[in-house]
Amino acid sequence: MPVDGRLARGDATRRLVLRRAVDVASVDGLAGLSLGRLATELELSKSGVFALFGSKEELQLATIDAALAIFRSHVVTPALEVPPGLPRLRAVCEKWLDYSERRVFPGGCFFFNVGAEFDARPGRVHDAVASASGAFAEFVRATAREAVAMGHVAADPEVLAFELHALGRAANADAVLNGGTQAYALARRAIHARLAG
């Protein structure tokens, strides 16, 4: 069955808009997104962009989904290709620090930034951000539990996961605020020491 050219163009435009939206939101927050701004920056018609999303909230929700897919492709999927236990736990931490340090999103970790923006705001956008962030935190916990169960690390897996998560978030926050790579180097040393002990 042939693909309708309008649908294909619409999908391509939607991907283009969402890629720009995740970059904008990583710096200016989800509140900084507007259909008009994206249309102007991408030289598209505002009505065409509005037709793709319908409202600012729908644009924000689609942006969160797009950012999550990008995050998973850089962090979760490559970590799952590493053998379970300590190797995978190390890979999760390293891939996460790499993702933040390479500025896959110009504002650093997308979910760290929008999490701070929406942490006290109820609603669908808050829930979507919390769900995405919570899914990654659970992935870190499950990976830590697996490493402990396999005897690779002697630790309380919940505390270990919390510490690793905290180190990654701190490295991102310090590097975005102060620039440079020292925060990532320190986080890598701290993670290595924690997993070695």
| Residue 3 pLDDT > 70 | no
Residue 183 lies in a domain: yes
Residue-averaged pLDDT of the chain: 92
Q: Is residue 28 part of a domain?
A: no
- Give a yes or no: residue 11 inside a domain: no
Summarised one tens digit per residue, pLDDT across range 122-172 is 999 999 999 999 999 999 999 999 999 999 999 999 999 999 999 999 999
Residue 97 covered by a domain: yes
**Among residues 93, 107, 89, 95, which one has the least CA distance to residue 157?**
89
Q: Is the residue at 18 inside a domain?
A: no
Total domains in the fold of the chain = 1
Is residue 64 situated within a structural domain?
yes
Does position 9 have pLDDT exceeding 80, yes or no?
no
The tens digit of pLDDT for each residue in 177-190 reads 999 999 999 999 99
Tell whether 106 is covered by a domain: yes
> For residues 164 and 144, is the Cβ–Cβ distance under 8 A?
yes
- The separation between CA 19 and the C-alpha centre of its own chain, rounded to angstroms, equals 13
Give the domain range for residue 143.
56-196
CA 82 to chain centre: 20
- What is the pTM assigned to this prediction? 0.88
Cα separation, 132 vs 44, in Å, equals 29
Confirm whether 155 is domain-assigned: yes
> For the domain that residue 63 is a member of, what is the CATH number?
1.10.357.10
State mean pLDDT over 22-48.
90
CA distance 189 to 43: 45
pLDDT, position 4:
58
